[in-house]
């Protein structure tokens, strides 16, 4: 026979002396705001309450009455079967605890945890907010620690290698991964790529490769005709600068993703 959950009687004189095991027998699913406030502001009861299996709604209510401490959050993480998502972002937690509770938390909120290692990310990458994780780690300079995670490397490349990337930045980027050639060879590759003329002829030739093209030749040529200030650009840098100035970067983004980036990744030896 299952446990019989009793409704909470706040006026019962024994409530303040209730043990954690006793509290676990009570049903907290439908507490009123007055009842939540009572438990949340009574230090003795609050300390025991966070050791029970609480609903995310009640966890939130306790936090609203008085901000949850890190120790209280840890207790909730360890004892509740479901966790209010904001608890994951409130504090930093040890990696051992994150592994322990990973199956009951919303992992899309875990990207801000500094203790994460590549093994954790490999295991839970499909459930994490990879875009936010990569952005955070790029900003704090620790992204290199996670390049062995395919999803991280792919997202990092997609975020970094874009149509507006200056050639010197691209050379530096390639040099981080392509360590088997000297910088002169990398510079030559980038110069050959960026020194291609940009015009209707080169655009048509590129988008005639149907296996790589995301749009038809007619579509991209029409866009080019209607969103450019010159009929031809001597280099990709010149075309990118014009796109920035006019704000018409749609074709530059698509063209770069469809063709330039794939050539860059083939040279680097990374498949995305």
* 134 in a structural domain: yes
Same domain? 145 vs 167: no
Q: What pLDDT, on a 0 to 100 scale, did the predictor assign at position 213?
A: 87
Q: CA 130, CA 152: separation in Å to the nearest integer? A: 7
CA nearest neighbour of 138 among 157, 162, 119, 165? 157
**Average per-residue pLDDT in the chain?**
89
Same domain? 153 vs 169: no
* 234 in a structural domain: yes
* 255 in a structural domain: yes
Same domain? 227 vs 263: yes
Kindly report, residue by residue over 85-109, the tens digit of the pLDDT: 999 999 999 999 999 999 999 999 9
Same domain? 168 vs 253: yes
Residue holding tokens 């609203």? 64
CB contact set of 180 (below 8 Å; sequence gap of 6+): none
* 100 in a structural domain: no
Same domain? 260 vs 182: yes
- Among 10-14, 160-164, 173-177, where is mean pLDDT lowest? 10-14
Same domain? 59 vs 125: no
Residue 175 near residue 183, CB atoms below 8 Å: yes
CB contact set of 50 (below 8 Å; sequence gap of 6+): 62, 68, 72, 75, 76, 79
Same domain? 153 vs 75: no
Parent domain of 84 = 1-91
* 97 in a structural domain: no
Res. 11 pLDDT band, cuts 50 70 90: low
In the predicted structure, residue 17 carries a pLDDT above the cut 70: no
In the predicted structure, residue 9 carries a pLDDT above the cut 60: no
Kindly report, residue by residue over 119-152, the tens digit of the pLDDT: 999 999 999 999 999 999 999 999 999 999 999 9
Number of domains in the chain: 3
Q: CA 242, CA 237: separation in Å to the nearest integer? A: 9
* 85 in a structural domain: yes
């Amino acid at each position: 026979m299952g446990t019989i959950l009793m409704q909470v009687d706040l006026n019962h004189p024994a409530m303040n002396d209730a043990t954690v095991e006793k509290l676990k027998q009570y049903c907290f699913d439908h507490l009123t705001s007055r009842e939540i406030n009572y438990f949340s502001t009574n230090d003795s009861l609050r300390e025991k309450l966070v050791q029970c299996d609480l609903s995310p709604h009640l966890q939130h209510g306790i936090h609203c009455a008085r901000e949850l401490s890190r120790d209280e959050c840890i207790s909730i993480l360890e004892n509740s079967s479901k966790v209010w998502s904001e608890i994951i972002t409130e504090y930093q937690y040890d990696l051992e605890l994150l592994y322990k509770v990973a199956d009951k938390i919303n992992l899309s909120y875990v990207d801000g945890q500094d203790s994460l290692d590549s093994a954790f990310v490999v295991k839970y990458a499909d459930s994490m907010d990879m875009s936010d994780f990569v952005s955070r780690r790029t900003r704090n300079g620790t992204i290199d620690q996670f390049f062995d995670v395919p999803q991280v490397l792919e997202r990092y490349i997609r975020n970094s290698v874009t149509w507006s990337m200056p050639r010197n930045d691209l050379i530096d980027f390639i040099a981080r991964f392509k360590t088997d050639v000297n910088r002169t060879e990398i510079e030559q590759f980038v110069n050959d790529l960026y020194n291609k003329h940009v015009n209707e002829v080169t655009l048509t030739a590129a988008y005639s490769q149907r296996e790589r093209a995301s749009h038809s030749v007619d579509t991209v040529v029409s866009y080019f005709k209607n969103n450019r200030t010159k009929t031809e650009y001597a280099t990709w840098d010149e075309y990118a600068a014009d796109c920035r100035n006019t704000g018409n970067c749609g074709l530059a983004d698509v063209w770069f993703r469809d063709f330039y980036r794939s050539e860059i990744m083939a040279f680097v030896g990374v498949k995305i």
